[in-house]
Amino acid sequence: MKIWRPLREIFSGRRSKSKDKEILVGRLAQSVSGRDKGMMYVITSQPDGIHVTVCDGKRRTTDKPKLKNIRHLLMSGEYVPDSFISNGRVTATDAEISAFIAENTDI
């Protein structure tokens, strides 16, 4: 069984623009708000402390990632392999990301 934690448990304390307490790049996440509610994504980069870019390898590719507020994501404890990450960004192909999501979700 996967462990999902809301962001309020990950980022404790006051709300600030710098949420550097935990590295989010490469983490598996589920959307809990918006048109894409219920979709599984991999966080590909974190341009600022509030937003992340996500992709799933099918609808949202690495060429056109979705910008998402981190409050609208439910985090998993699963990370992509270290070989997928370079310079603080996920550099894997869409097929690799899609396969990672498929093997690490129970949906």
pLDDT in tens, the chain (107 residues): 455 666 555 554 444 454 445 678 999 999 999 899 999 999 999 988 889 999 999 999 999 999 999 999 999 888 999 999 888 889 899 999 999 999 988 75
In a domain, 44, yes or no: yes
What tokens does 19 get?
A: 């949420």
Residues spanned by the domain of 39: 4-9+25-104
In a domain, 20, yes or no: no
Number of domains composing the chain: 1
In a domain, 19, yes or no: no
Instruction: Specify the pLDDT at position 2.
Output: 56
Is there a contact between 7 and 75 (Cβ–Cβ < 8 Å)? yes
Instruction: Specify the pLDDT at position 1.
Output: 45
Instruction: Specify the pLDDT at position 97.
Output: 93
d(Cα 28, Cα 58) in Å, to the nearest integer? Answer: 15
d(Cα 91, Cα 41) in Å, to the nearest integer? Answer: 14
In a domain, 16, yes or no: no
d(Cα 29, Cα 43) in Å, to the nearest integer? Answer: 7
In a domain, 18, yes or no: no
In a domain, 15, yes or no: no
Please give the distance of CA 58 from its chain centroid, rounded to a whole number. Answer: 15
d(Cα 29, Cα 19) in Å, to the nearest integer? Answer: 17
